[in-house]
Structure 1
């Protein structure tokens, strides 16, 4: 008798298998999105957005043979590196700056002696003296002579400070490779750049005079054409437009003196070089220069204020009833204040130029890989005078 085939038995349902336990010493497989747990004896991996507990194997920090590491520089490294460069080479960084400012201060003080002798004369200090006897032709001539001499001294100071700014590049760049530089050695290594720096300073002074004359002419023209309120609005509009434009152009060309010395360029080539380096990095350069200027201003005030206060205290020993002694004291106080301001200004300018020299170096590092040029020269142990001046450029490496 035929019997139907027995259907195959369906497999019994099996329980859901659980993941196998990890072997001893191994971490379990993490769920998606979770940080894996470390194996026993190994450091934990950092969470997303957190810094690792230690540097990866084989990592070597950028070398720092001198005052700054050979890589793109941060704000603190710029300020500290400039201070270290000044401390290691005080004569080459501060000496010339103080000397220039002191010479200009002496010239201004000598030119101001006739004016001081009139302003602090017993006749001028006497409140009962008639006005006609005070404002004489002698006073007018002294004021005019003092203004003219001060203007010429200011232009001379501007030209010479461009020279100082360029020459400070030499000890700062050499300090980046841990090389010291003397005062006379700076002039020897920078030849023939000093003459070109004077030309750059004269060009800057000429442009400044033209701009000043143009601004004064426009202001006088506005005062003649318009009434009082209209002239004031016109002058305010010129200031609102002219000051930001002058600041923008000044930052674009502020590294020309450094480029002229460091790369052996001519005057106009150095101006174009500074314009190129600040392309795309104007705001960063402006912020660092502004902060450095504020720091220098505060530091110089901390130097001059106590000294000026001490000089002013000497007036307590002057008899007010003796006009001649009071006049001599006031005239001497004016001269001393001028000289103290010159010395403090020279110290501050030397440090400020060291900051701008390092900022120029940082711009070249970020734009051209200049740190590789410096590193190769340091490893080779060669000393061409100004670092990177004789060595071939690294070529564009992209923005960093």
Structure 2
């Protein structure tokens, strides 16, 4: 049997001068007992046969010490058993005589030098190389979350600089949009049961327009933060720092494609949900209104489940697009391939990361929101009761400060977890750890150290 690094095949190799399968020296139990007359008495206290005689049962080529011991018998009936050899470095002490072999006095194939006992003296495989924020092997949930936080902590100047810049620019645009434009829109008709269909339509259109404008600004901010932080996290895996300028130069050729991808994914989800609710809408318009509404709700829920399933399958498309320099469609197909068979794991990790990031963000944002409401004129009670549709500048500025701090936390965590999930899935499926080790300059990784892929 061919040995492989890290373990030894059971049994011992044939003695020198013997072919495999040939009969070896006589078993010690074939030796004449002291109570039986020897065939040819020879010198020695026990009357053992002369090794040079033709009828001898013993060969000159004896097994090396430590692989066998003399048979058990009455005191003085034979030579003493050889003492066990000293333990070899790194393999632990051998077992006591008679343990781990074929019985008392038998061959001790396991536990002897060169044949370590399975589960005993072997210390396990060597630890995986860790040139950066994660070890180069398949990752656990805690290691992925820790890697995202370690990237923030190790490269905080670059990470927080990117997050702060994107968050400040985003909030300035949102505050100006809400203060100068959206405060003039009126959605009171949506809360008035006596509103005419025209008023409801106009109010709904204004609400959708204002929400869409804020969503578009947030989408652009997400694209910029994801593009830059993906580069930072990928370098952090190799243990290499990167400046904001270097991250931008590396990410700039893919920013337009990333924007198209991030814009396309919500459109796909919305189209799936609308397709599921469409039969109910048609029934409500041309037939039974109550039945149509119920059908639309059920169809929308079922379609929402399908949309969620699709979004998780496409969730690794962003790092695939940025790191592999792929197009939009190719990056989506790469994500589907990487997530296949691991949908629940990817979903669970991203859900957990999102919950943690939003809880931390809420701890920061909520106090600023109440402070803004208290200083904004309507008071906290009026804010909670929804009094006053216009948001004053004081409220917008103070709440915006809280939103900036919250975004500085959520951007790096969400982007870091997504990138590390992508790297983890490629390590599991494509042995990416070998390429990462070579890129990081780890010597001998994948030969004597083994690969985690």
Give the TM-score, by structure 1 length.
0.70
CA separation in 2, counterparts of 1:334 and 1:358? 35
Shift of 1:313: 4.6
Give the unaligned 5+ runs of structure 1. 1-12, 125-130, 321-325, 382-396
- Tell me if the contact between 2:338 and 2:425 (Cα under 8 Å) persists in the aligned partners: yes
In the alignment, what sits opposite 2:232? 171
Aligned counterparts, 1:30-45, within 5 A: 30=99
- Report whether the alignment pairs 1:341 with 2:403: yes
**More displaced, 146-155 or 102-111?**
102-111
Tell me which of 110, 119, 138 is aligned to 2:176: 110
- Report whether the alignment pairs 1:282 with 2:343: yes
CA separation in 1, counterparts of 2:224 and 2:280? 33
- Report whether the alignment pairs 1:351 with 2:413: yes
- Report whether the alignment pairs 1:292 with 2:353: yes
- Tell me if the contact between 1:159 and 1:205 (Cα under 8 Å) persists in the aligned partners: no
Secondary structure of the 1:367 match is helix
CA separation in 2, counterparts of 1:317 and 1:154? 26
- Report whether the alignment pairs 1:193 with 2:283: no
In the alignment, what sits opposite 2:144? 78
Kindly tell me the number of residue pairs found equivalent between the two proteins.
Answer: 346
Relative distance call for 1:312 and 1:156 in structure 2 (3 A) is closer
Shift of 1:78: 0.7
Relative distance call for 1:316 and 1:198 in structure 2 (3 A) is closer
In the alignment, what sits opposite 2:123? 55
In the alignment, what sits opposite 1:389? none
CA separation in 1, counterparts of 2:284 and 2:401? 38
In the alignment, what sits opposite 1:8? none
In the alignment, what sits opposite 1:375? 437
Tell me which of 240, 247, 256 is aligned to 2:308: 247
Deviations 1:36-75 (A, max 9, x none): 9x99xxxx968x7xxx68725xx53211111111111111
- Tell me if the contact between 1:66 and 1:176 (Cα under 8 Å) persists in the aligned partners: yes
In the alignment, what sits opposite 1:301? 362
- Tell me if the contact between 2:320 and 2:335 (Cα under 8 Å) persists in the aligned partners: yes
Tell me which of 15, 18, 29 is aligned to 2:98: 29
Secondary structure of the 2:230 match is helix
Shift of 1:223: 2.6
Deviations 1:335-373 (A, max 9, x none): 533552354135313211101101101111111111111
Shift of 1:327: 6.9
**More displaced, 284-293 or 327-336?**
327-336
In the alignment, what sits opposite 2:427? 365
Secondary structure of the 1:192 match is helix
- Tell me if the contact between 1:99 and 1:346 (Cα under 8 Å) persists in the aligned partners: no
Relative distance call for 1:249 and 1:115 in structure 2 (3 A) is closer
Relative distance call for 1:227 and 1:139 in structure 2 (3 A) is closer
In the alignment, what sits opposite 1:256? 317
CA separation in 2, counterparts of 1:76 and 1:336? 35
Whichever of the two has the greater Rg, that structure is: 2
Shift of 1:242: 1.3
Deviations 1:149-204 (A, max 9, x none): 32133134225424432332211111111111111211112342122212323433
Relative distance call for 1:193 and 1:106 in structure 2 (3 A) is same
CA separation in 1, counterparts of 2:421 and 2:126? 24
Give the TM-score, by structure 2 length.
0.62
Greater per-residue helix proportion? 1
**More displaced, 22-31 or 161-170?**
22-31
CA separation in 1, counterparts of 2:166 and 2:439? 33
CA separation in 1, counterparts of 2:136 and 2:145? 15
CA separation in 1, counterparts of 2:169 and 2:273? 25
Across the aligned residues of Structure 1 and Structure 2, the Cα RMSD in angstroms comes to 4.5
Relative distance call for 1:398 and 1:88 in structure 2 (3 A) is closer
CA separation in 2, counterparts of 1:24 and 1:380? 44
Give the unaligned 5+ runs of structure 2. 1-34, 37-70, 75-79, 85-94, 382-386, 444-449
- Tell me if the contact between 2:134 and 2:143 (Cα under 8 Å) persists in the aligned partners: yes
Tell me which of 135, 146, 159 is aligned to 1:69: 135
- Tell me if the contact between 1:108 and 1:149 (Cα under 8 Å) persists in the aligned partners: no
